[in-house]
């Protein structure tokens, strides 16, 4: 797996990351969602440099210009519900892409900190021989990402996988490295080193789904 950590270099991306982390700005849900969306746009732009292009002749009012165009075999898949703003950010740039949605949540066992990842919903086109952009803002333990990928295989085997995430933990990244094809790329805005005993990223930002859409039962 090739890892692209965009916070290794200074850019405007760091402003968006700082605002989604800051407790004094997080409560503005509209701003939080928009910042996740903007991060998705930045990640999508960088990712686009590694896709395949075909030359296409474009007719202008004054002539014809040959311009490289992205191959139209992309599927953007987000993990509900936290992945929706990130999905929109990617879709803003890959507007011709097909779309897939899958649910994954932590089911805690006997009211303890131990949990298993449950996948209950999938809506997806065929992924056979397509480019899969798999989006989830938080890459904590990595279990959700791996479980989702195993379910997605039922819809076909992609020819290339790009994982897109906002904040990841080193432990989670290490966990998924050998669970995906070797030529998989991980595009991530920033990486934290620690998980707490409940499997949440520290310092992280909290629960991205709750911050974007409100608390759940």
What residues form DSSP beta bridges with 127? none
Closest to 209 in 3D by CA, of 47, 99, 83, 56 = 83
- The Cα–Cα gap between 142 and 160 comes to 19
Vertex 171: Cα angle to 43 and 36 (nearest 5): 30
Which residue has tokens 């949540």? 105
Residues 105, 138: Cα–Cα separation, whole Å? 12
Helices (H), the chain: 13-21, 23-26, 29-48, 84-93, 143-152, 170-176, 208-213
Question: Please, what are the domains in the chain?
Answer: 2-52+71-213 (3.40.50.2020)
Q: What is the pLDDT of residue 80?
A: 85
Distance, in Å, from the CA atom of 92 to the CA atom of 53, rounded to the nearest integer, reads: 19
**Does residue 213 carry a pLDDT above 60?**
yes
143-174 pLDDT, tens digit per residue, is 889 989 999 999 999 999 999 999 999 999 99
Predicted local distance difference test score (pLDDT) of residue 64:
98
pLDDT tens, residue by residue, 34-53: 999 999 999 999 999 999 99
Residue 107, Cβ neighbours under 10 Å: how many?
9
| Pairing of the two strands 131-135 and 160-169 | parallel
Query: The tokens of 55 are what?
Result: 């030359």
Bond preceding residue 81 cis, omega within 30 of 0: yes
Question: Does 111 score more than 90 pLDDT?
Answer: no
Tokens 């066992």 sit on residue? 109
pTM of the model: 0.90
């Amino acid at each position: 797996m090739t890892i692209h950590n965009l916070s290794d270099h200074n850019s405007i991306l760091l402003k968006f990351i700082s605002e989604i982390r800051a407790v004094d700005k997080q409560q503005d849900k509209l701003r939080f969602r928009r910042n996740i969306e903007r991060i998705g746009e930045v990640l999508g732009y960088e990712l686009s440099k590694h896709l395949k292009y075909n030359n296409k002749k474009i007719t202008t009012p004054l002539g014809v210009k040959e311009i490289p165009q992205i191959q139209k075999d992309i599927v953007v898949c987000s993990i509900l519900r936290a992945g929706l703003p990130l999905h929109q950010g990617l879709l803003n740039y890959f507007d011709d892409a097909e779309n897939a949605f899958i649910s994954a949540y932590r089911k805690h066992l006997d009211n303890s900190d131990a949990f298993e990842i449950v996948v209950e919903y999938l809506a997806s086109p065929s992924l056979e021989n397509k480019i899969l952009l798999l989006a989830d803002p938080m890459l904590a333990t990595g279990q959700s990402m791996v479980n989702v990928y195993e379910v997605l295989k039922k819809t076909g085997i992609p020819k290339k996988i790009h994982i897109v995430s906002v904040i990841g933990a080193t432990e989670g990244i290490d966990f998924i490295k050998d669970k995906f094809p070797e030529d998989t790329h991980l595009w991530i805005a920033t990486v934290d080193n620690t998980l707490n005993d409940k499997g949440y990223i520290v310092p992280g930002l909290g629960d991205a789904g709750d911050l974007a859409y409100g608390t759940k039962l």
